[in-house]
Every structure is written in C-alpha cells, then in structure tokens.
C-alpha cells in the first residue's frame, strides 16, 4: 500500500488521479489533498477517500471546510497556507506526490517533495520551466524518482531506453506532438477577435482554462520543450514540435538507425497517470482501447511559429537560459489571466510576453529566493504593460 499526496486535487489532473485510485484501493491510499480556493470541491473528496490532511489557501476557507467535515464526522485535519503544502508534500508517511498545482504556486511543495526523496508525478511543468537547474539538483540530491505525467513527456519516457535520452544511446531527436489547438490554420487577423470561450474549447482534451489558452497560443508546447530539455537532458536543437491534430500519437523518439518509436492511446490523462502511479508495472486506468479499424487518417504538419509566436519565444528563452524561462512563464501567466478576464486580446498574450523578455535582463539563477524575486518582478512588469 502506497500513500499519496495530491497537490491540486480539485483540478482535471487531480480528478483523473482519483479515478485511477478508485480502481485500485488495495494499492493506494490518499494521505493528503489540496486546493487553493475550491474548498467546497474538497469536501466530497475528503468524505470519500478520508485523507489524513486537506490543505486550502486561507484559514477562512479552512474554517469552513472543518465545520462541514465535523458535521459529517470526518476526521480529516484541515490546514491552510503555503507552508502546509510543503508539509504534506514532504511528510515521512508519503510515498508518491502528484504535482498538479497549475503555475508558479506549485514550485515550493514540488521542490520539497524532491528534497524529501519522493516519487514525484510531475504534471506541473512550471517547476522545470521556472527552476530547471535548481529542481533537477534537488531531485538528484534528494534521490527522488521523477516521472513525467504530461501526456507528451510520459509518451517520450515510455519510448526511451532505460538509460535515458543521449546520443550515446542512439537517440537522434525527441518529437513532441501538438494538436494545434482550436485555431489551427487561422491567420493573425482572425486571432485578434478570439474570445476566452473559443480559446478554452480544446478540440481533443479536457483541461483547465489556463492550460487550454496555453494550448491555443502554442505556449503550452513551448513550455513542454523547456520541460523536455530538463527531463531528458536533450539539447533544444534535438527537440522538435510537430502538429498532429488527431492526438492519437502522444509523442515520438527517433533513433540513429532511423527507427521511430511512438506511444499511442486515447487522449485521456488517466493513461499517463496510471503509468506513473504503478511504474514500472502496468495497471488498469479505465481508458478504453484504441480501435485501429475505426481510426481516421493520422496527419502531421509543422508548427506555425509565425502566427503563434509563443512557441518561438519559448525556444528563445530556453536558448538564453538562466532566468529567461522563469520570466517567460511569469509574464505568460499574467497575460493569460488578463485575456481570460477581458483585459487583453488573444494576440496580446504573445506581445506582453515578448515585451517583458526584452525589458528584463537574463541572469543566472542563484537560489529559490532569487527565482521568486525574478518571478515577482516579471509579473509586476507584465501587469504594468497590460494596464
């Protein structure tokens, strides 16, 4: 029996994780669940899974949740605040941490899990985008087991040799597939009038609003390029993005002999989650089998980095190194929030990110505190530019 902390239990990844756990009560127990503001959504989770702890953002919300749990005679203890997130991610009783908090807020508890030597199922790509060298150092020093949960990176993980992605192991390049999002084939003029509702209507995947917008701008794919660099130690020139609208092939690895290994499956996050939970074994995820006799044609096309410049900006930030990816991530989070609230256009997202990258210097990352200061400065500048 393995104990699990789910950071971001009320999001789409958290919900899918709970669905897989339901199928295997003999293998997994939930030690802690967290949510930032959605304490009401944590209530039924606590009543069903009876975790030791639930963590919410504020003490006010914690008081509300405690009252409701007491009425139902549930013994789950309710905590609040960032320090509590760190505590439940690094507790001695925890074997596995599902890192599914969206954005920079997920970095401190995920770092704590790495330092504590946990098996980390990484669905929060910002931990590597913002703090790649710091995070990988924490993984090595803490002897943590880092398993990617993003469908693309999990696909690459499954297609690589056990020794990893190096030229010495015959790996020529990593191919990240992208659906192209809801605006594939649109021109820049048409994109200027895009609404949040249109941007969040992903053609293949069910995701949260922020990541749905990132998918529509191709920033999500850019962040995945940065993440793949740190996860697999592969230089940027050997990480390519190819648009595959059907989202059946989740990513591929090409080898020196010309072989290409691809991981296929339904566009359902329960597959990579089950892979991470049970690795190196395989367990039932609840995902239906592919019926190859009914598949439509599988098509591919190059990613359009002119109409969707966020992907180009991400490659540039990775090439610059140091603080540039953290600046990119922070500016993007602010710009996406502004778009979703009606204070920016869709095309304004890339313009804001580019402006912040141009105005702030790229420096070496010295510590987590230094990183968080860079994150704060980047957000302030992005907010000023938007206003």
Predicted confidence (pLDDT) per residue in 112-171, tens digit = 999 999 999 999 888 899 999 999 999 999 999 999 999 999 999 999 987 766 656 889
pLDDT of residue 376: 95
Residue 176, beta-bridge partner list: 241, 251
Are the beta carbons of 150 and 345 closer than 8 angstroms? Answer: no
Model confidence at 206, in pLDDT bands (50, 70, 90)? Answer: low
Of 376, 123, 67, 385, the residue nearest 272 (C-alpha) = 123
pLDDT of residue 204: 66
CB crowding 26-40: b at 16 or more within 10 Å, else e: eebbbbbbbbbeebe
pLDDT of residue 163: 72
d(CA 351, CA 178): 22
Six token digits for residue 144: 């943590």
| Bigger pLDDT: 67 vs 207 | 67
171-178 and 249-255 beta bridge pairing: antiparallel
d(CA 110, CA 82): 12
Model confidence at 29, in pLDDT bands (50, 70, 90)? Answer: very high
pLDDT of residue 223: 94
pLDDT of residue 105: 84
Mean pLDDT of the chain: 93
Six token digits for residue 326: 């953290």
Residue ranges of the domains in the chain? 2-148
Cis peptide before 280 (omega within 30 of 0): yes
- Any idea how long the chain is? 387
pLDDT of residue 320: 95
d(CA 330, CA 320): 16
d(CA 49, CA 57): 20
Strands of 111-170, DSSP E: 119-122, 145-148
First to last CA, the chain: 52
Binding residues: 10-13, 124-126, 150-152, 179, 202, 208, 215, 220-221, 224
d(CA 5, CA 17): 11
Binding residues for NADPH: 10-13, 124, 126, 208
Residue 146, beta-bridge partner list: 120
pLDDT of residue 104: 77
Q: Is residue 60 packed enough to be buried (19+ CB in 10 Å), middle (13-18) or exposed (0-12)?
A: exposed
d(CA 227, CA 248): 21
Binding residues for 1-deoxy-D-xylulose 5-phosphate: 125, 151-152, 179, 202, 215, 220-221, 224
pLDDT of residue 201: 81
Q: Which residues contact 374 (CB under 8 A, 6 or more apart)?
A: 323, 326, 327, 330, 360, 363, 365
Give how far Cα 166 sits from Cα of 147, 155, 238, 250, 368, Å. 18, 17, 10, 20, 29
Question: What would the mean pLDDT of 15-24 be, rounded to a whole number?
Answer: 97
pLDDT of residue 209: 86
The percent of residues above 70 in pLDDT, for the chain, comes to 97
Check whether domain 2-148 has CATH 3.40.50.720, yes or no: yes
pLDDT of residue 259: 96
Question: What would the mean pLDDT of 211-222 be, rounded to a whole number?
Answer: 93
Model confidence at 41, in pLDDT bands (50, 70, 90)? Answer: very high
d(CA 288, CA 266): 7
Question: What would the mean pLDDT of 40-55 be, rounded to a whole number?
Answer: 97
The percent of residues above 90 in pLDDT, for the chain, comes to 83
Assess whether pLDDT exceeds 90 at residue 62. yes
Assess whether pLDDT exceeds 90 at residue 373. yes
pLDDT of residue 205: 63
Please state which of the ranges 188-192, 293-297, 361-365, 374-378 shows the lowest mean pLDDT: 293-297
């Amino acid at each position: 029996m393995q104990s699990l902390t789910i950071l971001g239990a009320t999001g789409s990844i958290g919900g899918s994780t709970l669905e897989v756990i339901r199928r295997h009560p003999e293998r997994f127990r939930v030690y802690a669940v967290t949510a930032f503001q959605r304490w009401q959504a944590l209530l039924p989770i606590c009543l069903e899974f009876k975790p030791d702890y639930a963590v919410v953002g504020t003490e006010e919300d914690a008081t509300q949740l405690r009252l409701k749990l007491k009425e139902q005679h549930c013994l789950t203890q309710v905590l609040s605040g960032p320090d509590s997130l760190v505590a439940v991610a690094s507790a001695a009783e925890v074997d596995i941490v599902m890192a599914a908090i969206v954005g920079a807020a997920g970095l401190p508890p995920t770092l704590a899990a790495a330092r504590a030597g946990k098996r980390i199922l990484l669905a929060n790509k910002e931990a590597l985008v913002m703090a790649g060298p710091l995070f990988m150092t924490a993984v090595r020093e803490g002897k943590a087991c880092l398993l990617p949960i993003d469908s693309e990176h999990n696909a690459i993980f499954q297609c690589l040799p056990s020794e990893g992605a190096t030229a010495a192991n015959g790996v020529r390049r990593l191919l990240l597939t992208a659906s192209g999002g809801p605006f594939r084939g649109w021109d820049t003029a048409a994109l200027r009038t895009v609404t949040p509702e249109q941007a969040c209507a992903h053609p293949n995947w069910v995701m949260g609003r922020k990541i749905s917008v990132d998918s529509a701008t191709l920033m999500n794919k850019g962040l995945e390029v940065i993440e793949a660099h740190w996860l697999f130690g592969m230089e940027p020139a050997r990480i390519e993005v190819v648009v595959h609208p059907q989202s059946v092939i989740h990513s591929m690895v090409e080898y020196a002999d010309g072989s290409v290994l691809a991981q296929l499956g339904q566009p359902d996050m329960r597959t990579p989650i089950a892979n991470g939970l049970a690795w190196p074994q395989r367990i039932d995820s609840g995902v239906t089998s592919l019926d190859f006799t009914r598949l439509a044609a599988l098509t591919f096309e190059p990613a359009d980095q002119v109409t969707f410049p966020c992907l180009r900006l991400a490659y540039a930030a990775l090439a610059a190194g140091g603080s540039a990816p953290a600046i990119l991530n922070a500016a993007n989070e602010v710009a996406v929030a502004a778009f979703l609230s009606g204070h920016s256009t869709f095309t304004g997202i890339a313009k804001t990110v580019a402006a912040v990258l141009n105005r702030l210097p790229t420096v070496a990352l010295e510590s987590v505190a230094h990183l968080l200061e860079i994150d704060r400065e980047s957000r302030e500048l992005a907010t000023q530019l938007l206003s």
